[in-house]
Every structure is written in structure tokens, then in C-alpha cells.
Amino acid sequence: MFGFFRRKSTKKNTEENDSAKDEMIDQVISQLFAKDENRDINVQVAKQMIQARYKVEHILLKKYLYEDTKLFLDTITKENSMYTLYKTVIESECGIFPYSCSQFNVKTKKSDELILVSALLPEPEAEPLCRRLYFVCNKNYEKAMCFTVEKGMNGDFLCCWDGKRHLNMGQADEIAVSENGGQNMGCNDEEISRIIKLYQSINNRE
């Protein structure tokens, strides 16, 4: 099952995203380790960790979703699969993994027309890492889209990727977080309803 997650992203994709996020990462790292005695070592590891998480959320998940939507959704909805994906990629690239299994929560909602898989993630350390992910497709596993709730400078924002375009959908809904590591409490019905309406609206315009 996990062999599906171990396929490498292309060098081109990685290079295209590296320059775009380097400045953001440097700003966050300097704040996190401003007074740390081992700052040089810790900064490098933390930078690698943030880059690896970015790679999972903004490159690999979308890549797998469009390569084989049914296989991808069937895989990530199995117990601990999302946790295993993050752990495999981040540990392999920076040697550490700071999250626990309980910080990942994946659920599936199905209707007569749609399949929606939501994923709650650990508290993001930097912009634009994700708090929540939504994968939506029709009942035949066609017309898949990925919606991301991303950490921003002035509040979280909601984006959509339909396989061709990256769309900014505006401010994300505010959802309470727990005091245990800042992880998400859950996706609320209002946000899920908004995701479904956006999915339908984008499809209807095509």
C-alpha cells in the first residue's frame, strides 16, 4: 500500500517550488530559533522539515490525486495512511518527524453524487503550510479537486487546485483548535458545505 506514496516527484516540480518558498521559510526559522544556542544546526533541520512538509501538501498529494484518483483516495482513507505518508517523506528528507499519529484525522463523506475526503493536519509552522485538506470528486472518481486551508499572514486562506489551475477562494472559515499542540478539532459542517458548493460551481463553469 505504501509503495504508492514512495514514488518520487519530478526534479522540475521541486525546483519550481523551492525558490518560491525559501524567503518565507527563512523568516519563520529566524523567529523560531532567534535565541537558540544551537541555532545553526536547528535552523537547517527545521528548514528541511518545513520544505518536506510543503512538498507533501503542495506537490505529492496533488500529483497522486490526479494520477489515480480512486487508488489515492482508497489509500489515504485507510487507518494511519496520511500519517505514514508524512512520516515517510519528512523523515527521509530531514531525519526527524515532530508529529504524532493523533494529530492526523482523515474522514470520508459520500452522497449520491460526490465523494469528499477531509484531512485534519498538525498545526502548520509556516505560511503556506496546510491546516486542512479536502479532496472532492464525483461518484465515478472523476473531476477531482483538491482544496487547501493554508496558514496566512493575516488569517488562513482557502485555495483550490483542479488539475489545471490554482485558485484563491478567499479567507478560510475560523475553526477552533485544541490546546494539545494546537492541532485542529475538526472540520465543521459549514466549511464542508462551502467546499461542496465551490466544487459544484467550478464544475458548472466548465
Q: What is the pLDDT of residues 110-159, one digit of tens each?
A: 999 999 999 999 999 888 999 999 999 999 999 999 999 999 888 899 99
At residue 175, the pLDDT reads 55
Q: What is the pLDDT of residues 27-46, one digit of tens each?
A: 555 555 444 444 454 778 88
Query: Exposed, middle or buried: residue 132 (CB in 10 Å: 0-12, 13-18, 19+)?
Result: buried
The model's pTM: 0.78
Yes or no: say if 70 and 138 are a contact pair by the CB < 8 Å rule.
no
**Domain assignments of the chain as residue spans, ordered by start:** 2-205
CA distances 196 to 125, 155, 171, Å, are 28, 22, 16
Q: What is the spatial distance between Cα 203 and Cα 206, in angstroms, rounded to a whole number?
A: 5
DSSP-derived 3-state class of residue 20: helix
More confident residue, 152 or 182: 152
Q: What is the mean pLDDT of residues 52-69?
A: 95
At residue 167, the pLDDT reads 84
At residue 74, the pLDDT reads 96
* DSSP assignment letter at 127: T
Quick check: 83 pLDDT over 90?
yes
What would the grid cell of residue 21 be?
518558498
Closest CA to 6 of 71, 83, 64, 67: 64
What would the grid cell of residue 118 be?
477531509
CA angle 134, 164, 74 (to 5 degrees): 40
- Per DSSP, the residues of 158-202 read EEEE-SS-EEEEEEPPP--B-SSTT-B----HHHHHHHHHHHHHH
